[in-house]
């Protein structure tokens, strides 16, 4: 099969055209964010707060110092991976609500390889083998947990939305069981449902003393580029996108639609699993129960805000991370509840999803790029 | 009727109950255990049943709704808030305050449903995205307002956290509730009874009235429905709104029937399980209700296994981990959904926006 | 049209940046805590909110009491939303030059220890943190770090005995958060031991069942009133007539359910007669673990330069019977007085170890 040609080949006018297209794509999300921030400001004013002070606190807490920047990057890392996971599935016409469960399994698998493998092999592993092994195990676990609903969708028609939701609960229960039972940290001082600390050789050491910034963030950016290349520049990516856009056409074009569906979900699950694995190997050095709460929905919002494009996902993830990270300082300075961030994020999603509202307010013309993802639950 | 499915449901419930009776029989008589399990099951199944009915109205009309969770959460909060306002600021007594609370909860559910309808029917936003919007918004709004209104000097109550007036009292069904031991089952609170009644009302409405016929037509074949003069858009709006009100009643279960307090995220994923119950029950009200009972029974099992923890024989020690048995309903739902056990047939036009 | 597009986008981006960084007068009314004459106290909560009518709120009331008493010029709290933020949230106060930092909850033990080592000039109060020297904490005791701990088993023991004497069915129930948290476990074990002690005294046999909500993560275990109510109802269906709610809103849910059925509820930590008005009429007592007075006392000591360091034990006790005073016989009241005296002078032991032994 011929490689699909991309609209922006190198030519004199291509840069302008690219910028134009980029701005065009980013306009509605930007306006949505702005509108949400404005509405959020109105809400803060209504409850007697000063929105300027609040947003200044938020901004300062997110970007105001080296430490703040480092923390924002720490928050952004799992958001980027999980956002990419949802975006890849979207590109394949699939709705992955299961990032939460895939992430948890990725973390559990990475933690297990991290603390148990040297003992099993009765040998110490060098870090350059052990770290990739741990992350790889997390990716594999996530991929399997993602591929199951993919296969069920492809071969039985069971809708991935319900199956991924169910598998979130299954993952939650299994993780609880493992962390309270077989995988629980046996240290007598340990009082939590958590795994033992992973071996030093499996720890991705942070580059800067005193900051929690870790290489996972850089890795996330690299993975974003790889995903962009994979989805937009390779045959596999073409098949995923074609299957997502029109499964019937894909079938006539000779694409193995079933296999592509499984592949999209496995890829998606792999990215979510990687988010969990990085949290374990680069940040927490163990997995603890209840640490991943909320990533599932946030990642959907991030993928939508980022228009399912890796660059957009990275930007959206940094925005969400900045809000989550800066919120503590905002509360410290102004006593405005942290929960206002969830309201603003909900509004952002609302305005992105219902772009009609934003387009109407700002008189922006619509481009025909509506996605319809849900075609029933499948029977 | 899909008798095989009902057989599976009955079998699962019987197995769960027998396990608990076997373990706990040295401490309590089997009748006491079964009655207590049944009472818990029926109570816990209430929000699941109402959520599933919400799903049925929406999806029978062709609108997928994964925002049930958010609708219930929002309703739980605003209903509770209304009961406090009535009690603290307007000095209503317990019953009127709580009844106003329930009404507000139902209306809140309806309001969220209106948003879902506007987004997914009028603006043709992808319905799953629209549902996600509702879930995230509900979490944010309830969390924020809960803090802002009840805590700190800026709150309407001047920094004092007022207590909710209370919850709906239970209704003893005369005669039946007087039966020794078993009577406990007929001593239930109003929303639970309402849910039960609504199951059969919905069954009647969906399958024996013109409204139901039209709703199903709109969900199965909107184009054909349109040609015979049914207003597809209006039917979809109406059914989504009805569904939202039912989800709102399900939300009232948490703060106006179970406990008189609100907690951020307190619906705890029950809206998603309701969705599973709906699919499990093949989009039929009675089937969904039975499925909700299976989920309820699983929770009753978890609680009872912990209660009888010290009596669990060592060879069954794995049961002490409530998580292990907690998996069953989810796995069962997946098996049913994927056609490995039974077959689900969703409405044909479910999830597809209607364009003239 | 196209130009309009660009102009608008530019304006919007600019205004966004302005909203973010610009505007507004002085940020907050907070004084400069780095000055030596301004005495500031900060609170870092465990994952939870300061309005939880329970543990975190008790900590915050301790700071408020210190401010009311004039021992702190400025108090502030930061709520933890994610357990990976403990360090960051403590650092907000250390960076701002606070003089006392209270960390609320045993989950913050290690982070408080590390912060205290790094900031010898700041006094740290670790509530519920059993700060003893061990391999993980080799430098203890530190002069600027005090672990405020309680013998929860003693308070649990008292209400366990009370429950056993008052119960008509001789079946007691406890609805608790996770037993992974040692104070919760100590309450539960003390409750059982107290009931057994009462049985011994009066020749009865009382069944005690404590159900822990350990099947969920830390984010939920103390915040699930609906589970608490459902569990309590299931217990009461089996004849239990006293419910001891241990831990946050989960326990409260159980106590409220008992009150709705007209049975007995027992509160925890503070005298919940005042914080849980929904259950007032049927609240028998509360297992006391008064947080605010010792916290205020420690803040005062820090200001006066007499901060103790090491472990500081808060008192044990049980709350008055309030509305149910008439249902507790004079004999039981006398026995309870005796028991309290015995517990406090050490002549009665609960025999509950400080942490749950490994299985």
In A, residues 279-318, which contact B (CB 8 Å cutoff)?
Answer: 297, 300-301, 304
Q: What angle in degrees, to the nearest 10, is found between the helix axes of A51-63 and A66-91?
A: 90
Upper half-sphere CA count for residue A325 (Cβ side, 13 Å): 27
> Does residue C83 carry a pLDDT above 80?
no
In C, residues 225-284, which contact A (CB 8 Å cutoff)?
Answer: none
Output the pLDDT for position C156.
95
| pTM of the predicted model as reported, rounded to 2 decimal places | 0.86
Helices (H) and strands (E) in chain A, counts: 14, 0
Residue C131 pLDDT class (50, 70, 90 cuts): confident
Say if CB C50 and CB C56 are below 8 A apart.
Answer: yes
Q: Which one of A288-297, A329-338, B146-155 scores highest in mean pLDDT?
A: A329-338
C145-150 sheet: strands from edge to edge: C74-80, C40-47, C100-104, C123-127, C145-150, C310-314
Residue A209 pLDDT class (50, 70, 90 cuts): confident
> Does residue A181 carry a pLDDT above 70?
yes
High-pLDDT (> 90) share of chain B, %: 42
Query: Do A158 and B334 count as a contact with CB atoms less than 8 A apart?
Result: yes
Query: Do C13 and A365 count as a contact with CB atoms less than 8 A apart?
Result: no
Residue A288, chain C, CB below 8 Å: the answer is: yes
Residue B175, chain A, CB below 8 Å: the answer is: no
Output the pLDDT for position B354.
83
Query: Using CA atoms, how far apart are residues C145 and C132, in angstroms rounded to an integer?
Result: 11
Residue B157 pLDDT class (50, 70, 90 cuts): low
Query: Do B348 and A345 count as a contact with CB atoms less than 8 A apart?
Result: no
C211 contacts in B (CB within 8 Å)? Answer: 303, 306-307, 309
Least confident of B64-73, B105-114, C18-27: C18-27
Strand ranges (DSSP E) for chain C? 40-47, 74-80, 100-104, 123-127, 145-150, 171-176, 207-212, 242-246, 264-269, 283-288, 310-314, 317-318
Structure tokens at A246: 């029109």
Query: Do B119 and A353 count as a contact with CB atoms less than 8 A apart?
Result: yes
A290 contacts in C (CB within 8 Å)? Answer: 83, 216-220
Q: How far is B226 from chain C (nearest CA, A)?
A: 39
Residue C119, chain A, CB below 8 Å: the answer is: no
High-pLDDT (> 70) share of chain C, %: 90
Q: How far is B266 from chain C (nearest CA, A)?
A: 7
Query: Do C276 and B163 count as a contact with CB atoms less than 8 A apart?
Result: yes
Residue C304, chain A, CB below 8 Å: the answer is: no
> Does residue A373 carry a pLDDT above 60?
no
Query: Using CA atoms, how far apart are residues C222 and C228, in angstroms rounded to an integer?
Result: 9
Query: Do C215 and B28 count as a contact with CB atoms less than 8 A apart?
Result: no
Query: Do C92 and A56 count as a contact with CB atoms less than 8 A apart?
Result: no
Query: Do C21 and A180 count as a contact with CB atoms less than 8 A apart?
Result: no
> Does residue B178 carry a pLDDT above 50?
yes
Question: How is residue A238 annotated by DSSP?
Answer: H
B140-156: pLDDT as tens digits: 899 888 877 776 555 56
Interface test with C, best of A50, A286, A328, A367 (most C CBs within 10 A): A328
In A, residues 82-111, which contact C (CB 8 Å cutoff)?
Answer: none
Query: Do B36 and C50 count as a contact with CB atoms less than 8 A apart?
Result: no
Least confident of A71-85, A265-279, C50-64: C50-64
Q: What is the 3-class SS of A164-222, one letter each residue? A: HHHHHHHHHHHHHHHHHCCCCCCCCCCCCCECCCCCHHHCCCCCCCCCCCCHHHHHHHH
* Nearest CB to B303; choose among C50, C230, C249: C230
Q: Is B2 or A193 the better-scoring residue by pLDDT?
A: A193
* Nearest CB to A339; choose among B133, B147, B276: B147
> Does residue B255 carry a pLDDT above 50?
yes
The H or E element spanning position B179 is none
* Nearest CB to C358; choose among A50, A53, A188: A188
High-pLDDT (> 70) share of chain B, %: 91
Residues 6+ apart with CB under 8 A from A347: A35, A36, A39, A40, B137
Output the pLDDT for position B297.
87
Residue C28 pLDDT class (50, 70, 90 cuts): very low
* Nearest CB to B119; choose among A304, A340, A354: A354
C154-210: pLDDT as tens digits: 999 999 999 999 999 999 999 998 887 888 999 999 999 999 999 999 999 999 999
Average pLDDT over residues C211-231: 82
Least confident of A150-164, A308-322, B8-22, C158-172: B8-22
Output the pLDDT for position A119.
87
> Does residue A310 carry a pLDDT above 70?
yes
Residue A189, chain C, CB below 8 Å: the answer is: yes
Complex ipTM, two decimals? 0.85
Residue C91, chain A, CB below 8 Å: the answer is: yes
> Does residue B280 carry a pLDDT above 50?
yes
Query: Using CA atoms, how far apart are residues A156 and A359, in angstroms rounded to an integer?
Result: 40
Least confident of A351-355, B128-132, B309-313, C318-322: B309-313
Average pLDDT over residues C76-82: 84
Output the pLDDT for position C27.
38
A335 contacts in B (CB within 8 Å)? Answer: 152
Q: How far is B7 from chain A (nearest CA, A)?
A: 21
C322-333: pLDDT as tens digits: 999 999 999 999
Average pLDDT, chain B: 85
Buried b (16+ CB within 10 A) or exposed e, B269-308: ebbbbbbbbbbbbbbbbebbbbbbbbbbbbbbbbbbbbbb
Query: Do B136 and A301 count as a contact with CB atoms less than 8 A apart?
Result: yes
Query: Do C237 and B35 count as a contact with CB atoms less than 8 A apart?
Result: yes
Residue C32, chain A, CB below 8 Å: the answer is: no
Average pLDDT over residues C284-310: 92
The chain A residue lying nearest B339, using CA atoms, is A156
Say if CB A151 and CB A269 are below 8 A apart.
Answer: no
Output the pLDDT for position A369.
52
Distance (Å) of CA A27 to CA A41, A356, B282, C171:
21, 13, 43, 66
Query: Do B303 and C223 count as a contact with CB atoms less than 8 A apart?
Result: no
B81-113: pLDDT as tens digits: 999 888 888 888 888 999 999 999 999 999 999
A333 contacts in C (CB within 8 Å)? Answer: 27-28, 30
* Nearest CB to A329; choose among C92, C106, C182: C92
Q: Which one of A58-67, B178-187, B294-303 scores highest in mean pLDDT?
A: A58-67
Residue B160 pLDDT class (50, 70, 90 cuts): low
* Nearest CB to C79; choose among A34, A331, A364: A331
* Nearest CB to A297; choose among B136, B264, B273: B136
Output the pLDDT for position B78.
96
Query: Do A189 and C134 count as a contact with CB atoms less than 8 A apart?
Result: yes
Output the pLDDT for position A145.
96
Query: Do C207 and B27 count as a contact with CB atoms less than 8 A apart?
Result: yes
Residue A280, chain C, CB below 8 Å: the answer is: no
Helices (H) and strands (E) in chain B, counts: 13, 2
Residue A379 pLDDT class (50, 70, 90 cuts): very low
* Cβ neighbour number for residue C344 with a 10 Å cutoff: 14
A288 contacts in C (CB within 8 Å)? Answer: 83
Average pLDDT, chain A: 86
The chains found to touch B (3+ Cβ pairs under 8 angstroms) are A, C
A179 contacts in B (CB within 8 Å)? Answer: none
Residue C16 pLDDT class (50, 70, 90 cuts): very low
Q: How far is A330 from chain B (nearest CA, A)?
A: 14
Residue A361, chain B, CB below 8 Å: the answer is: no
Average pLDDT, chain C: 86
High-pLDDT (> 70) share of chain A, %: 90
Q: Which of A103, A302, A314, A319 is nearest to A220 (CA)?
A: A314
Q: How far apart are the first and last CA of chain A?
A: 32
Output the pLDDT for position A377.
55
The chain B residue lying nearest A341, using CA atoms, is B140
Q: How far is A85 from chain B (nearest CA, A)?
A: 16
Query: Do C91 and A52 count as a contact with CB atoms less than 8 A apart?
Result: no
Q: Which residue has the tokens 């964010």?
A: A33
> Does residue A1 carry a pLDDT above 80?
no
Query: Do B347 and A376 count as a contact with CB atoms less than 8 A apart?
Result: yes
Query: Do A67 and C91 count as a contact with CB atoms less than 8 A apart?
Result: yes
Average pLDDT over residues C333-355: 90
Average pLDDT over residues C341-357: 86
Residue A142 pLDDT class (50, 70, 90 cuts): very high
Query: Using CA atoms, how far apart are residues C248 and C253, in angstroms rounded to an integer?
Result: 9
Query: Using CA atoms, how far apart are residues A57 and A74, in angstroms rounded to an integer?
Result: 19
Reduced to 3 states (helix: H, G, I; strand: E, B; else coil), residue C127 is strand
Reduced to 3 states (helix: H, G, I; strand: E, B; else coil), residue B160 is coil
Query: Using CA atoms, how far apart are residues C297 and C191, in angstroms rounded to an integer?
Result: 28
Query: Using CA atoms, how far apart are residues B133 and A301, in angstroms rounded to an integer?
Result: 8
């Amino acid at each position: 099969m011929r490689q699909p040609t991309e609209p922006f080949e190198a030519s004199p006018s291509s840069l302008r055209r690219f910028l134009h297209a980029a701005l065009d794509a980013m306009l509605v999300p930007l306006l949505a964010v702005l509108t949400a921030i404005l509405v959020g400001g109105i809400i803060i004013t209504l409850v007697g707060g000063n929105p300027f002070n609040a947003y200044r606190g938020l901004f300062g807490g997110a970007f105001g110092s080296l430490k703040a920047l480092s923390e924002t990057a720490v928050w952004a890392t799992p958001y980027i991976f999980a956002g990419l996971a949802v975006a890849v599935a979207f590109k394949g016409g699939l709705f992955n609500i299961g990032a939460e469960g895939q992430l948890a399994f990725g973390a559990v698998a990475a933690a297990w390889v991290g603390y148990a493998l040297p003992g099993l092999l009765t040998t110490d592993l060098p870090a350059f083998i052990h770290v990739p092994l741990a992350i790889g195990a997390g990716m594999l676990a996530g991929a399997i947990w993602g591929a199951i609903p993919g296969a069920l969708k492809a071969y039985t028609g069971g809708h991935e939305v319900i199956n991924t939701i169910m598998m979130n609960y299954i993952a939650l229960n299994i993780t609880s069981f493992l962390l309270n039972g077989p995988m629980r940290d046996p240290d007598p001082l340990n009082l939590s449902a958590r795994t033992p600390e992973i071996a030093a050789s499996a720890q991705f050491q942070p580059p800067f003393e005193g900051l929690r910034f870790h290489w996972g963030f850089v890795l996330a950016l690299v993975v974003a580029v790889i995903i962009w290349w994979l989805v937009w520049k390779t045959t596999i990516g073409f098949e995923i996108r074609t299957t997502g856009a029109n499964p019937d056409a894909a079938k006539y074009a000779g694409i193995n639609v079933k296999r592509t569906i499984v592949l999209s979900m496995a890829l998606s699950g792999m990215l979510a699993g990687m988010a969990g694995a990085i949290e374990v190997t680069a940040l927490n050095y163990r997995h603890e129960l209840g640490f991943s709460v909320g990533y599932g929905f946030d990642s959907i919002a991030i993928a939508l805000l980022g228009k399912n494009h890796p660059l957009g996902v990275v930007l959206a993830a940094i925005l969400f991370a900045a809000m989550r990270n800066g919120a503590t300082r905002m509360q410290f300075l102004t006593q405005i509840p942290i929960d206002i961030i969830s309201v603003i994020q909900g509004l952002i999603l609302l305005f992105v999803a219902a772009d009609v509202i934003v387009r109407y307010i700002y008189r922006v013309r619509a481009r025909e790029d509506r996605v319809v993802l849900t075609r029933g639950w499948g029977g | 009727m899909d008798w095989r499915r009902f057989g599976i449901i009955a079998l699962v419930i019987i197995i769960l109950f027998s396990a608990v009776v076997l373990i706990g029989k040295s401490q309590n008589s089997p009748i006491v255990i079964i009655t207590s399990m049944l009472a818990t099951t029926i109570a816990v199944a209430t929000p699941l049943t109402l959520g599933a009915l919400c799903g049925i109205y929406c999806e029978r009309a062709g609108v997928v709704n994964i925002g049930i969770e958010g609708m219930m959460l929002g309703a739980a909060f605003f209903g509770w808030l209304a009961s406090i306002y009535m009690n603290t600021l307007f000095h209503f007594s317990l019953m009127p305050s709580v009844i106003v609370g329930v009404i507000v909860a139902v209306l809140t559910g309806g309001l969220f449903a209106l948003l879902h309808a506007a987004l997914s029917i009028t603006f043709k936003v992808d319905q799953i995205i629209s549902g996600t919007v509702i879930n995230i918004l509900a979490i944010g709004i309830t969390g924020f307002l809960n803090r802002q209104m009840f805590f700190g000097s800026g709150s309407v109550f001047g920094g004092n956290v007022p207590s909710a007036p209370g919850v709906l009292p239970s209704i003893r069904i005369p005669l039946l509730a007087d039966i020794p031991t078993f009577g406990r089952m007929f001593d239930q609170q109003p929303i639970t009874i309402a849910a039960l009644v609504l199951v059969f009302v919905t069954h009647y409405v969906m399958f024996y009235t013109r409204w139901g016929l039209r709703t199903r037509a709109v969900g199965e074949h909107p184009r054909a429905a349109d040609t015979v003069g049914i207003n597809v858009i209006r039917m979809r709006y109406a059914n989504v709104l009805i569904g939202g009100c039912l989800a709102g009643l399900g939300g009232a279960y948490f703060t106006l029937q179970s406990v008189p307090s609100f907690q951020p995220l307190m619906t705890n994923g029950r809206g998603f399980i309701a969705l599973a119950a709906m699919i499990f029950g093949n989009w039929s009200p009675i089937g969904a209700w039975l499925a909700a009972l299976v989920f309820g029974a699983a929770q009753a099992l978890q609680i009872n296994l912990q209660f009888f923890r010290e009596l669990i024989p060592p060879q069954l020690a794995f049961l002490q981990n409530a998580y292990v048995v907690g998996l069953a309903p989810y796995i069962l739902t997946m098996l049913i959904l994927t056609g490995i056990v039974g077959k689900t047939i969703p409405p044909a036009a479910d999830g597809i926006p209607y364009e003239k | 049209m196209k130009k309009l597009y660009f102009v608008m986008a530019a304006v919007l981006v600019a205004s966004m940046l302005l909203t973010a960084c610009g505007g507004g007068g002085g940020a907050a009314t907070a004084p400069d805590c780095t000055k030596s004459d301004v005495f500031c106290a900060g609170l870092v909560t465990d994952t939870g909110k300061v309005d939880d009518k329970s543990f975190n709120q008790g900590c915050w009331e301790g700071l408020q009491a210190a401010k009311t008493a004039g021992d702190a010029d400025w108090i502030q709290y930061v709520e933890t939303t994610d357990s990976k933020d403990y360090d960051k949230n403590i650092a907000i106060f250390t960076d701002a030059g606070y003089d006392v930092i209270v960390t609320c909850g045993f989950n913050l033990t290690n982070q408080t220890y590390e912060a205290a080592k790094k900031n010898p000039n700041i006094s740290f109060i670790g509530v519920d943190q059993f700060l003893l020297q061990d391999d993980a904490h080799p430098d203890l005791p530190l002069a600027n770090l005090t672990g405020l701990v309680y013998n929860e088993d003693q308070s649990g023991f008292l209400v366990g005995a009370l429950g056993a004497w008052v119960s008509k069915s001789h079946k007691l129930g406890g609805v608790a958060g996770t037993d992974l948290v040692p104070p919760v476990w100590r309450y539960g074990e003390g409750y059982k031991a107290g009931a057994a002690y009462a049985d011994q005294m009066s020749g009865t046999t009382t069944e005690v069942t404590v159900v822990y909500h350990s099947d969920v993560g830390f984010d939920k275990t103390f915040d699930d009133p609906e589970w608490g109510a459902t569990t309590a109802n299931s217990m009461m269906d089996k004849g239990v007539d006293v419910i001891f709610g241990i831990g946050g809103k989960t326990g409260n849910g159980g106590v409220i359910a008992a009150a709705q059925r007209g049975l007995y509820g027992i509160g925890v930590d503070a005298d919940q007669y005042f914080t849980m008005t929904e259950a007032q009429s049927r609240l028998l007592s509360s297992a006391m673990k008064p947080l605010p007075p010792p916290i205020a006392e420690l803040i005062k000591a820090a200001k006066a330069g007499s901060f103790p360091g090491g472990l500081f034990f808060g008192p044990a006790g049980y709350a008055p019977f309030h509305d149910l005073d008439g249902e507790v016989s004079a004999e039981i009241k006398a026995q309870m007085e005796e028991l309290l005296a015995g517990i406090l002078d050490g002549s009665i032991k609960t025999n509950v170890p400080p942490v749950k032994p490994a299985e």
